Amino acid sequence: MKDPVSKYFRIGLVAGMAYAPALKELGWAEITRRIAADDFFDVIEVNPLPDNESREAVRTVAGMGHLLLCQNAHGRLMAAGLNPNDPDEAGRMKAEAALIDGVDEAASLGISAMGMLAGKWTPETRETCFGQLKKTVLNVCRCAQAKGITVELEVFDHDIAKKALLGPAPLAARFAAEVRAEVNNFGLMVDLSHIPMTYETPAQVIPVLKPYITHLHMGNTVIFDPQAPAYGDEHPRFGFPGSENDVPQLTDFLRELRKNGFFDAEKPCTLTFEIKPWTDEDIDIVIANAKRTLNRAWALLED
């Protein structure tokens, strides 16, 4: 492509994933500063932040750097073992309350998009879980709508690592259609690393979910052997041994996005790296790997 990728996408980094090994050592203020100093990035995705000092520092640095902030509320659910589609109503309500806390934090940071994920399910409870998740999402969306926040549900694997209800593209599309029929501040987050984990391809996922996609992730996964290093939803660097995604797969992903109208210079979509150093890998090199992979994939797209 002759046009730069920044013409069509806001490129971001999931900070809590890329800097996971150094989160305690560096702290959120320094991590945000490092990302803000790199003009490759337009977006920082942050975890729930631990205190008011961190929130103020992140907001200040992001503003100084002219960066968009997004929040992932995944940690609010996973750390506490909460399930937004819990068949038990008391459990579902606890998850809903945690997500509404996330909306409040996002609003305090000036964030306009908050990510979440579905919870675990069983074949016997799938339809019950579907209804419970819809109830949670609608309630959270209605709360978020008053604060100008879009709720973005990330599509995960359904039987490998997170084992989330959503899940395969057709089921995610059905869910999104039902939610969008009642609220307009809901979208889906599609991650390249999760597509192989749902046994699908970009050509099967993007056209089906196109009307509902508001956020995109780029990443990698290892699924060929449960005993392999980085198996599951670990987001290793591109080109990791035995992994699914590298330049060819990212190129296909971008090509499918273009085919489905996502190359929109007037309304650029957020396209974020979700990558994590494996064991003792160098954080800066892993981030450089991601940028290099995107640059190569972008260069291979035909004009």
Per-residue pLDDT tens for 50-98?
999 999 999 999 999 999 999 999 999 999 999 999 999 999 999 999 9
Q: How far apart are CA 303 and CA 279, in angstroms?
A: 39
Is-contact 245 224, C-beta < 8 A?
Answer: no
- For residue 20, give its domain range: 5-300
Of the candidates 24, 64, 26, the one whose C-alpha atom is nearest the C-alpha of residue 44 is 64
The pTM assigned to this predicted structure is: 0.96
C-alpha neighbours within 13 Å on the C-beta side of residue 84: 29
- The tally of domains found in the chain comes to 1
Q: How far apart are CA 222 and CA 240, in angstroms?
A: 8
What does each C-alpha distance from 281 to 20, 44, 157, 231 come to in angstroms? 12, 21, 26, 16
What pLDDT is recorded for position 303?
A: 81
Sort residue 246 into left (φ over 0), alpha (ψ -120 to 50) or beta. Answer: beta
Q: How far apart are CA 207 and CA 200, in angstroms?
A: 12
With a cut of 70, which residues of the chain have pLDDT below it?
none
CATH of the domain at 23: 3.20.20.150
DSSP the chain: --S-GGGTEEEEEEHHHHTGGGHHHHHHHHHHHHHHT-TT-SEEEEPPPSSHHHHHHHHHHHHHTT-EEEEE-HHHHHTTT--TT-SSHHHHHHHHHHHHHHHHHHHHTT--EEEEE--B--GGGHHHHHHHHHHHHHHHHHHHHTTT-EEEEEP--SSSSS-BS--SHHHHHHHHHHHHTT-SSEEEEEEGGGTGGGT--HHHHHHHHGGGEEEEEE---B-S-TTSTTBBT--PPTT-TT-S-SHHHHHHHHHHHHHTT---SSSPEEEEE-----TT--HHHHHHHHHHHHHHHHHHS--
Of the candidates 292, 276, 269, 289, the one whose C-alpha atom is nearest the C-alpha of residue 12 is 269
Tokens of 230: 């980085």
